[in-house]
Amino acid sequence: MSDMQIVNVELPERSYPIYIGKGLLDNAELLRSHVKGKQVAIVTNDTIAPLYLDKVKAAFSGYTLNQIILPDGEVHKTMGTASLIFDQLLQNRHNRSTTLIALGGGVVGDITGFTAACYQRGVNFIQLPTTLLAQVDSSVGGKTGVNHPMGKNMIGAFYQPQAVIADTATLDSLPQRELASGFAEVLKYGLIADSEFLEWIEKNHSAVLAKDPDALTYAIRKSCENKASVVAQDERESGLRAILNLGHTFGHAIETFTGYREWLHGEAVAVGMVMAADMSCRLGWITSKHAQLVRNLVEKSGLPSIPPANLLPEHFMELMAVDKKVLDGRLRLVLLKKLGEAVINSDFSSSALNETLAAGDLLCRQNTST
């Protein structure tokens, strides 16, 4: 398609393209081009299936095709749901040449990638992300997995897709709350590694949230370019890639505390980024003006900026203790050395963390009392 843009994720063994454009799910040739064999299983959920499943199925006429429709929601991102996918693959005799197609948001993409990594020790899969969050973040980079009641994404694998095909037309049907949730990840890329992009976000966040086609496409492409660059340098998160988790340690604690039911991922990350900026300010790395800028951008985007009620500082500490970034008993946090530059740090002042948690708790109490 003439307006299609391509970002490449350059890896030693499994490089792949990210296609970005409007109407890509109508491009049967593009969809088929990344399927190696003649078996296909489309994994989606009961929200997305009525909207786009028939369109994707039409591209695979003549293939052995199965559809697996999951219930919608983060609460279903579990080993039990993964087992349902394995059951369907085995019952329909999918072999090692099969391709799994993830049609949906981050939950569908994560769980499909995880099952692809495990089924017969690894089969091909393609990401067809249908939410802003999935298009800018979760579909790119090969992180796959499921949640556990004790912690988010604690069971998973690094497993790269054959391709990511991001049809921006799917965002037309995306509810505003889901759009804002995805925008949190867009903002993250500006904060961690791209000050010029952050300046663009300050000026254009309203256009993105209004679903302006040009602004959306630019935000998706720049986010993918930033993530692809980081993943190319550190595919399995041995160091640098952890900067992509700005706000996520705080955010995952919120999601776990609320049982993966009440908060969207991007909403929890938004609060986490505000807390990370607050702590970075308390450490003397960024100014209070810059910390306030982060909070203002979050709030202007319609995202929460304070933790949920009843999530006390001691609860935060307990939940963060089982985060994947804990190493040798030390909590590592992604913080801001300056706007546009993140660092991974485990040698921080515990008083700064305690003050940030206490400040969040105070704001929460003030908010609930008004």
Distance of CA 243 to the CA centre of its chain: 14
Tokens of 216: 């959306």
- What percent of the chain clears pLDDT 70, i.e. is strictly above it? 98
DSSP H helices, 301-349, are 313-320
CA distance 104 to 107: 8
Res 46 pLDDT > 90: yes
CA distance 71 to 47: 8
Predicted local distance difference test score (pLDDT) of residue 368 = 75
196 close to 49: Cβ distance less than 8 angstroms: no
Tokens of 79: 């080993």
Kind and range of the H or E run holding 268: helix 265-282
For residue 267, name the pLDDT band (cuts at 50, 70, 90).
Answer: very high
Predicted local distance difference test score (pLDDT) of residue 324 = 66
CA distance 99 to 89: 11
How high does pLDDT run on average in the chain?
A: 94
Strands (E), the chain: 5-9, 16-21, 39-45, 64-70, 99-104, 124-129, 143-148, 151-158, 164-167, 333-338, 341-345
Predicted local distance difference test score (pLDDT) of residue 202 = 97
Start and end residues for every CATH 1.20.1090.10 domain found in the chain: 176-369
Closest CA to 331 of 321, 341, 340, 339: 321
> What residues form DSSP beta bridges with 5?
20
Predicted local distance difference test score (pLDDT) of residue 370 = 61
Res 182 pLDDT > 80: yes
102 close to 43: Cβ distance less than 8 angstroms: yes
- Range of weakest confidence among 65-74, 119-128, 342-351: 342-351
HEC per residue, 115-143: HHHHHHHCCEEEEEECCHHHHHHHCCCCE
* Mean predicted confidence (pLDDT) in 171-175: 95
323 close to 346: Cβ distance less than 8 angstroms: no
Kind and range of the H or E run holding 355: helix 350-369
107 close to 48: Cβ distance less than 8 angstroms: no
Predicted local distance difference test score (pLDDT) of residue 1 = 44
- Range of weakest confidence among 183-192, 271-280, 319-328: 319-328
- What are the C-alpha distances in Å from 236 to residues 122, 124, 222, 249, 310? 17, 19, 22, 18, 35
- What are the C-alpha distances in Å from 282 to residues 34, 38, 41? 48, 57, 50
* Mean predicted confidence (pLDDT) in 239-251: 94
Report CA dihedral (308, 312, 315, 316) to the nearest 10 degrees.
70
CA distance 307 to 136: 24
Start and end residues for every CATH 3.40.50.1970 domain found in the chain: 5-172
More confident position, 225 or 370: 225
What per-residue string of b and e applies to 31-42 under the rule 16 or more CB within 10 Å gives b?
A: beebbeeebbbb
* Mean predicted confidence (pLDDT) in 336-346: 94
- Range of weakest confidence among 99-108, 169-178, 309-318: 309-318
Q: Give the number of other Cβ atoms within 10 Å of residue 19's Cβ.
A: 18
CATH number of 176-369: 1.20.1090.10
Reduced to 3 states, what is the DSSP secondary structure of residue 224? helix
Distance of CA 20 to the CA centre of its chain: 17
Q: Give the number of other Cβ atoms within 10 Å of residue 284's Cβ.
A: 9
CATH class of the domain whose range is 5-172: alpha beta
Res 34 pLDDT > 60: yes
Amino acid type, 28: A
Residues carrying an active site annotation: 121, 143, 185, 227, 237, 241, 245, 248, 252, 265
115 close to 86: Cβ distance less than 8 angstroms: yes
For residue 361, name the pLDDT band (cuts at 50, 70, 90).
Answer: confident
Predicted local distance difference test score (pLDDT) of residue 325 = 65
For residue 15, name the pLDDT band (cuts at 50, 70, 90).
Answer: very high
The pLDDT tens digits of the residues spanning 78-90 come to 999 999 999 999 9
CA distance 360 to 357: 5
Predicted local distance difference test score (pLDDT) of residue 365 = 80
* Mean predicted confidence (pLDDT) in 320-340: 84
Res 342 pLDDT > 80: yes
For residue 152, name the pLDDT band (cuts at 50, 70, 90).
Answer: confident
pTM of the model: 0.93
* Mean predicted confidence (pLDDT) in 302-322: 92
Amino acid type, 274: V
Amino acid type, 163: A
